[in-house]
Structure 1
Amino acid sequence: MRFSRRHRARATGDESVLPLTNVVFLLLIFFMLAGRITGPQPFEINPPRSASDAAADAGSIEVQIAAGGALALDGRPITLDALAEAVRREIDTRPDAPLRLKADGTGEATRVVAVMQALRKAGADKLRLITVAAANP
Structure 2
Amino acid sequence: MFDSNSLTGPRKQSNSDDNMIPLINIVFLLLIFFMVAGQIRAMPDASLVLPKAELAEIEQETQLQLELLADGQLLLDGVFVSPDELDEQLQQLGNPDTINVALFADEHATAVELDKAMAVLRRHQLQSVLLHSETREGSQP
**What range is the shorter-chain TM-score in?**
0.7 to 0.9
TM-score, normalisation: structure 2: 0.76
Q: Pick from 55, 68, 71: which aligns with 1:68?
A: 71
Find the counterpart in structure 2 of residue 79 from structure 1: 82
> Closer, same or farther in 2 for the Cα pair 1:129/1:41, shift >3 Å?
closer
For 1:23, the equivalent position in structure 2 comes to 26
Aligned residue identity for 1:130: H
**Any gaps of 5 or more consecutive residues in structure 2?**
1-5
Partners of 2:45 and 2:124 in 1: CA distance: 22
The 1:93/1:74 distance shift into structure 2, 3 A limit, reads farther
Instruction: Show the counterpart of 1:108.
Output: 110
Work out the CA distance in 1 between the residues paired with 2:96 and 2:36: 28
**What pairs with 1:1-137 in structure 2 (closer than 5 Å)?**
4-39=7-42, 41-42=44-45, 44-90=47-93, 92-93=94-95, 95-124=97-126, 127-136=129-138
Cα RMSD for the two superposed structures = 2.6
The Cα shift of 1:103 comes to 0.3
Distance between the aligned counterparts of 1:113 and 1:39, measured in 2? Answer: 24
Give the unaligned 5+ runs of structure 1: none
Distance 1:21 1:126 in 2: 46
Alignment CA distance shift 1:94-1:115 (3 Å): closer
Contact 2:64 2:100 in 1 (8 A): yes
Instruction: Give aligned-pair identity as a percent.
Output: 26
Q: Is the 8 A contact 2:56 2:133 kept in 1?
A: no
CA distance in 1: counterparts of 2:34 and 2:96, whole angstroms: 32
- Letter aligned with residue 102 of structure 2: R
Instruction: Give, in whole Å, the separation in 2 of the partners of 1:57 and 1:82.
Output: 25
Q: Is the 8 A contact 2:69 2:105 kept in 1?
A: yes
